[in-house]
Chain A
Amino acid sequence: MKAFLILEDGSVFEGQSFGAVREAVSEIVFNTSMTGYMEVLTDPSYAGQAVVMTYPIIGNYGICREDMESLKPWPDGFIVRESARMPSNFRCEDTLEHFLKIHGIPGICRIDTRALTKLLRSKGTMNGMITTREDWKPEEVLPRIRAYRVEHVVERVSCDKPYRLPGLGKRVALMDFGAKSNIMKSLQTRGCQVTVYPAHASAEEILAARPDGIMLSNGPGDPKECTEIIREVGKLYDSGTPVFAICLGHQLMALATGGDTHKMKYGHRGGNHPVKDLKSGRVYISAQNHGYVVDMDKVDASIAQVAFRNVNDGTVEGLRYLQKPVFTVQFHPEASPGPRDSGYLFDEFIEMMGGNA
C-alpha cells in the first residue's frame, strides 16, 4: 500500500506502508545507528516523535524481545528505506513489520531516507505526518502538522507508583522519567538495590527512604516543561545525597541549579558520538539520544564544571557539580543500543555512594 510522509515545510516522500495502517502526526527525528532498532523503538525517550533510521536495511535480525528497553515501543511512527522481508538471527522471535502492526505503530518504507535526513539536517527537526490516504490536501494537513507539539510526554512514559528491584548492595532511588531498562540492569549487575519512583514522586518521599544514591533517568520531551520535577530535583540536590543523572536527568539537574537548556537544530541520535573526558583527555564513543542540550555559557562555574564535551560540536556532555556529590551526563552510559565504552561511569557512581565498584 502506498504511504506518504508529509513534512511541515510541505515536502512529501512517497513510499510504502508497513506496520500498522494508521495516520500519525509527530516530530520527525533521525537516528544514525546501524544496529539497535529494537532498542530505539522501545526507548521511552522517543515518545512523541517518529524515528527515521539512516541505515537503509532495517529489521535484518528481526525482533528479540529481551532487547526491549521498556515494555512497548514508543515512537509515533517508524521510517526506513527497506524493511527486511526475512529476518535471520538465532534469537529472532518476530518480524519488525509484525511487531509494529501489533503495537499499532505506522511505518513507511521505500523512501529515500538519506534525502529526508539531509532535509532535517539543513532545516532542523520538523513535524511530519505519515498517512496512507492518497487524497490528502496540503491546506488540510499542513496546519495540523505545524500545530503539533511534543507535550506531557514524561507523564506518559513514567511508571505509576514506586517499585523495588531485588539487590543486596547500595540502595539506589531511580527517578523514572522514561528510564531505559538497561539503566536498571547496569545498577543491578553492580549489586544495587534499586527502587524505581514515578516522575511525579516528591523529593521528600524519595529522601525518606534514605537511599545511598539517586539516579535520574533519561526521558522524552522539553526539560523546561517539567517545572514540578525540576523543583523536586532541586531538593534532591540540596539533600547532599550522591546523584548520577543521564540525559533528561542531566538537563533537569542543570535547570534545577540555575542553568539553562535549549533545543538543538536536529539533536544527537546515534551510537557514534565522541565525548571527551576533560580530565583524562581520553575520548569515548557514546550512545546518544537528545534534542535539547544544556547551555554551555550559562553553567555557573561555582556550581558545576564541564566534565565531558562533545568533540564534534563542543556541546556540554557532562557536568561535575562542585558543591555536592552530583555527576550528570548527556549521553547514555547504559548504551543499548550503542557502544558500552562509558559503562564505567556506573562504577564511579557506586564509588560516589561509598561502595566498591
Chain B
Amino acid sequence: MPKDTTIRKVLVIGSGPIVIGQAAEFDYAGTQACRSLKEEGICVVLVNSNPATIMTDKDIADKVYIEPLVPEMLKEIIRREKPDSLLPTLGGQAALNLAMELWESGFLAEQHVRLIGTTAETIRKAEDREAFKETMEKIGEPCAPSQIVYSVEEGAKFAEEIGYPVVLRPAYTLGGSGGGIAHDRRELEEILSNGLRLSRVGQVLVERCIAGWKEIEYEVMRDESGTCITVCNMENLDPVGVHTGDSIVVAPSQTLGDKEHQMLRSAALNIIEELKITGGCNVQFALHPESFEYCVIEVNPRVSRSSALASKATGYPIAKVAAKIALGYHLDEIKNAITQKTFASFEPMLDYCVVKMPRLPFDKFLSADRTLGTQMKATGEVMSICTNFEGGLMKAIRSLEQHVDSLRSYDFSGLSEEELLGRLGVADDRRIWVIAEALRRGISYDEIYRITKIDPWFIDKLAVLVEMEEALERGPLDRELLEEAKRLEFPDEVIGRLAGLPEGQVKSLREQYGITASYKMVDTCAAEFEASTPYYYSCYDGYNEAESSTGRKKVLVLGSGPIRIGQGIEFDYCCVHGTWAFAREGYETIIVNNNPETVSTDFDIADKLYFEPLTPEDVESIVRLEKPDGAIVQFGGQTAIKLTQALMEMGVPILGTQAEDVDAAEDRERFDEILGKCGIPRPAGHTVFTVEEAKAAAADLGYPVLVRPSYVLGGQGMQIAVRESDVEEFMEIINRIEQEHPVLVDKYLMGKEIEVDAVCDGQDVLIPGIMEHIERAGIHSGDSISIYPAQSISRKAEETILSYTEKLAAALHVRGLINIQFIVCQDEVYVIEVNPRSSRTVPYISKVTGLAIVDVASRVIMGETIRGMGYTPGLWPASGYIAVKMPVFSFEKLQGADVRLGPEMKSTGEVLGIARDFQEALYKAFLGAGVRLPKHRNVIMTLNDEDKETGVEIGRRLAKLGYRIFATRGTWKALREAGVPAVPTGKISQESPNILDLILGHAIDLVIDTPAKGAQHGRDGFLIRRNAIETGVYCITAIDTARALAESLEHAGSQSMEPVNIAG
C-alpha cells in the first residue's frame, strides 16, 4: 500500500536526557526517522528535552521543542501544533511511556491525534507483564514460569513455589532499573521492595532463573500487510544473567545451528505478528544450551539499542524503514538504500562478523560494584567488524579507550588457581581477561564453561588469541606468523611488545612483507548484489575493495568513539555538523568512528564511513588508502585530539587550530607563558610528577588545592585536596595509570564559574554567548547547572571575559572552536581551563542562540573569515530566551558509586529548560531532569560547616513552602538558632529511628547533603546518599543546586509553561 495521505503532521517524541540504558541510539534512530518523514513531505514536530542531540536541530524537524518530557508539556504542544499523528516508537521507553499516558488519559482521542507505528494495545501487550504473558501463552510461545506480584509477600510465596534463584523484573522501567536476581528470601525482599517502588504501575515479575542459558536477540520488522522479516540475530557471549547492554554481543549468532536459528526466528515472527506491530521490534530469547528449549525473555515494540546495533551491523536502516512503515508503506515498496536495487523486504546477509563491547564507567566510579547483572551499567558501546571473531574482538577491545589493547591488558597472573576459579564465577567487565589467564594456566574449556556458562566456541576463540600471544613471544616473527597475527587484528604495538621489538620495527617488517589492511564493504547482501554505499571495515585476509576516489578535496573527520561520562553525544553532534559543513563546501568527507549508537556512523552522513577503532595504527591504514587533504580533530573530543600527533607524523595536515597550539593549552608551562604574555591571571599552580612534589606544591599554594592529570576530558581524576593525606591519596589514584604528562596542582578558588564557547578565524572572534554556572567552582562544569546568558556577573567582568577570550584565541592561533572556563572571584576574572576544540556546550549554545557554531567554525577552518560570512565579531546578541542546562545522572544504576559531586564529572546526560524568564526556564530544567516535587513535603538536610550559613537560608525558604525539615545534629542546631523549624535526627550509627530509617521509610522527597571537601572516608554520608538514590529520592550534594531548587519551588505553583519552538 502506498503512503497514507491522511498523515500530514507528525509529533515525534525523543528519549530525553542520556542515562544508562537510554543513550545516543535514540538520537540516531530519531534523526534517521525524522529525515525519513521529511523526505515524504510530512511536517515533523519534535519534542525532546535533550539539547545535545542532533535530532533537536532545526534542520532535522520542522518544529523543535526542547522541553521537558512530561504529560502537561506534551499536551500544551499538541494543543498548539495540532498534529494528526504521534509516532512514539523512536524515543525509547521514555517516549513510549509518555505516549501511553497521553493515550490512557483520553487526551489523544480528544485531540484527534492517532498513534502511528504502533497501537496502545500493542504497547500494552508487549510492556505490561501480565498482558505479555497471556499473549505469549495464547500463541504457544514459552516464557519462563513467572508471576506478576504487587507485594513482597506475594513474591516470596511464588519464589518458594518455583525455587530460588529467581529473577525480578519491574514493569515499565528503564534498562531494567530495580531488577535483579535473588538467591534467597533476604535478597528477594530487598530487590523486590525497591522494584515495586520504581515500577510505574507497581508491578514486578518474579520468574524462574534461566541464568546460564544462551541469550539470543532478533530484530524484526513488520508492515501493515503482515509481511515480516528479521533484520539480524545477535548472540550474547555472556549468557542470560548479564544485561544485553552490558554483554559482549556478536552478530550474527555463532553457535546456533540452522534448526535452532529458524526455530527462534519463526518464534520472533510469530510474536510480532500476534502483537500486530507495524515497524520494528526486538525479541530476546533464552535458549537452553543443551536442548531446543527456549523462553521469550522480553519484547520491545520500538526501536532500541539493539536495533541501532543491528542497523549498523547489517547496513539495514531500521529506524528509517520503521518511519516509512508508520506512514503506511509496505516493506516491498521501500528501497534498500544500500543496494538501490533490492527492497526493504529482504533479510540482510552478513559476510563478516560483528562484535559489540559495552563501555562501562568503572574508571569514573572507582567505588562502584563492577559486577554485571540484570541492571545495565554501560554508558555506551563500541562495535567492530572483521572477517573473523577473534579480530572483531581485538578491534573492539582497543576501541574502548580504556587502556586496553589485548587480552594481556589486565594482569591476573598473580592470582592463585583457587582465586582465579573464584574470579571466573564473577561476571564483571574483566571476565574475558580472567578467562584468558585461565587458558594460559591450562584450565580446561569444560571447567571454564562449567563456571561461566560461556559457550566453548567463544572460549576457544579466546584460546586462539592466547595461543597467538604465546607464538609471538616464542617467535620467530616470520611472514606467516605476522600475517596470522594481523588476521587476528593484533596491533603492531602489541605484536612488538610480545615479540620484544619496537612498534616501528613491526611496522616496517609488515611493509617489507606487504601485509597491509584491506577494506571490505558492508552491503547487506554478502556481495550478492552490487552496492554503492561506501561503508567499510578493515581486514587482513582479503582484497581491498575501497577505492580512493575523486578529484575533490578530501577531509578526514575523526569521531569521538564510545559514549562515556565526560565525552558524550555532544561530540558526535559536532562531528556530524562539521561533516555536513565540509560537504556543503564541496569537500569529500570521510568519517572514522566505532560507536554504533551514533548518527555519525549512519552510512549516509559522510561520503565514506570507516567503522574502525580510533588508534593511530588503524587510522594510518585508512590514511594510506585515502590520502586525505586534511584531518579534523577538533570535533571528536579527546579521542580525536589524541590522534593529532600521529596524524601529523603521517603527513596529514591538521585543519584548523594546529597541534602545537592545542598542546600549548594543555602544557602547563607553555600555557603559563601565554597567559603571562596576555596579562591574564589564573589560579596559582605547579606541575608535578611525584607525591612529594605534589605535597610541596600544595604546601606552597596553601590548601585547598585542585589536583588533576593533564590531557584528560571530563575532569577525570580531578579532586579537591584540603589536607596532605588527600594529596597522597589522589596522586596514588592518578598514578595507577602511567602518566605521560605531569599532574597539575592548582590553588582552588571558590568563585563563580563562567564558560564561553567561541569561534576564531585567526583575526576575529565570534562569541555566541556567555554561560554561568549555578554551582560555584569545584563542581565539574559538566555537572553544573549552566545558564545562558550569564545572569549575575558585572558588566566589567563580562568585558574582561570577552577581552580574555579574544586574547587567548589570538595567542593560541585558534582556527575554529575554542572553549574557555573562567572563575570570577570578587569581580576578578581568572582563567582555569582552555580547550581549543569543540566542547560539551556547543550543541546547547548553538540551539539557544540560533547560531550554527559548528558550521561557522568549519567554514573558518576551510579559510573563510567571520566578517566574510557576514557576522560581526564579538558577542552575539542575546536571543531573548533564557536557557538552563541541567545535568542528569545515572547513579541509581551504579551500585556503590558515590553520588557526591566534585571536580570529576559524573553526569551522563543533560536537559534544557528554555523560556522567556529565568524562573520558568529553571523550573522546566528541573522538570526535564525528572525532579518532580513535592510529594511528601519532607526534606533531609545535613550540611558541612561552610555551607551552614547558606543552607539555613535555604531551609527557611523550604520551611516556608511547607516542607518539614529533618536535620542531623549540627545542621539542626544551626537551623534552630536561625529560627527555622526542624526535626533532629540521628546519624546512621545512632539508634533507630535515625536518618537511614527516614530515607527507607519512603516519605522523603529530597536529601540535601553537602559533604566536607577533601578525601572522604566516612561511610555515613556515602550511605545516606546511596540509600537516597537507590530509593528514588532526589539527592543534592552542592549547596548552590539546593538554592536553585528552592528558588524554583517557590515559583512552581504559579508557573505557567510556554513551549518554545526553537526552529520557529
Contacts and interface: CB of A to CB of B under 8 A. Distances in A.
Q: Say what secondary structure dominates the interface of chain A.
A: loop
A90 B290 contact: yes
A34 B265 CA distance: 13
Nearest to A272: B347
B255 A86 contact: no
A126 to B, nearest CB: 15
A88 B345 CA distance: 32
Interface string A21-45: 0000000001011111011000000
A252 interface: no
A57 interface: yes
B61 to A, nearest CB: 31
Contacts of B226: 280, 282
B525 A32 contact: yes
Contacts of A121: 527-530
Interface stretch (A130-138, A226-234, A317-325, A337-345): A337-345
A36 to B, nearest CB: 3
Max chain A Cβ within 10 angstroms of own Cβ: one of B228, B261, B346, B526: B526
Given A56-B388, A283-B227, A285-B347, A89 B257 contact: yes
Nearest to B350: A34
B541 interface: yes
Contacts of A67: 257-259
B262 A88 contact: no
Given A273-B346, A285-B347, A341-B269, A55 B262 contact: no
A10 to B, nearest CB: 16
Contacts of B307: none
B288 to A, nearest CB: 9
Interface in B742-767: none
A285 B261 CA distance: 14
B431 to A, nearest CB: 18
Interface stretch (B178-186, B454-462, B824-832): B454-462
Contact of B353 (A57, A91, A339): A57
Interface in B316-353: 330-332, 341-343, 345-353
Contacts of A112: 541-543
B343 A87 contact: no
A283 B388 contact: no
A117 interface: yes
A91 B349 contact: no
Contact of A114 (B252, B341, B351): B351
Nearest to A312: B342
B159 interface: no
Contacts of B228: 341
A281 interface: yes
Interface residues of B, number: 57
Interface string B244-263: 00000000111111110110
Contact of A54 (B332, B351, B353): B351
Interface string A268-300: 001111101000111111000000000000000
Contacts of B543: 112, 115
A113 interface: yes
Nearest to A82: B388
Contacts of B536: none
A91 B291 CA distance: 8
B526 A86 contact: no
B391 to A, nearest CB: 10
A89 B255 contact: yes
A61 interface: yes
Contacts of B1: 281
Contact of B541 (A110, A274, A339): A110
A36 B347 CA distance: 16
A336 interface: yes
A309 B458 CA distance: 41
A38 B257 contact: yes
B389 interface: yes
Given A54-B351, A57-B388, A339 B262 contact: yes
Contacts of A81: 387-388, 541
Contacts of B351: 32, 54-56, 113-114, 117
A115 B349 contact: no
B347 A114 contact: no
B600 to A, nearest CB: 26
Contact count band on A: 35 or more
Contacts of A352: none
B225 interface: yes
A271 B225 contact: no
Contact of A280 (B225, B527, B530): B225
Nearest to A66: B259
A287 to B, nearest CB: 9
A206 to B, nearest CB: 32
B869 to A, nearest CB: 46
Contacts of A312: 341-343, 346, 529
A336 B258 contact: yes
A136 B258 CA distance: 38
Contact of A56 (B227, B352, B457): B352
Interface in A100-137: 110, 112-115, 117-118, 121
Contacts of B256: 35, 61, 89
A271 B343 contact: no
A144 interface: no
Nearest to B525: A32
Interface string A258-276: 0000000000001111101
A85 interface: yes
A337 B257 CA distance: 10
A60 B261 CA distance: 13
B520 interface: yes
A55 B350 contact: yes
Contacts of A201: none
Interface in A31-79: 32-36, 38-39, 54-57, 60-61, 64, 67
Given A114-B520, A340-B266, A60 B254 contact: yes
A178 to B, nearest CB: 19
A332 to B, nearest CB: 12
Contact of A283 (B331, B349, B389, B529): B331
A20 interface: no
A280 B224 CA distance: 12
Max chain A Cβ within 10 angstroms of own Cβ: one of B342, B351, B545: B351
A311 interface: yes
Contacts of A3: none
B489 to A, nearest CB: 14
A335 interface: yes
A90 B289 contact: yes
Contacts of A38: 257-258
A87 to B, nearest CB: 7
A175 B545 CA distance: 46
A270 B330 contact: no
A276 to B, nearest CB: 6
B229 interface: yes
Given A113-B351, A272-B348, A285-B347, A32 B456 contact: no
Contacts of A339: 262, 265-266, 347
A117 B456 contact: no
A272 B257 CA distance: 16
A118 B455 CA distance: 33
A301 B252 CA distance: 43
16 contacts: A35-B261, A55-B350, A55-B526, A60-B255, A60-B457, A67-B258, A114-B520, A114-B527, A115-B543, A117-B351, A117-B528, A276-B345, A285-B229, A311-B332, A312-B346, A341-B266
Given A312-B341, A337-B262, 11 more contacts: A32-B351, A55-B350, A67-B257, A89-B257, A115-B545, A274-B345, A282-B225, A283-B227, A283-B332, A311-B346, A338-B262
Q: Which 4 A-B pairs have the closest CB atoms?
A: A36-B258, A112-B542, A88-B457, A272-B347
Interface of B: 1, 225-230, 252-259, 261-262, 265-266, 269, 289-291, 330-332, 341-343, 345-353, 387-389, 455-457, 460, 464, 520, 525-530, 541-543, 545
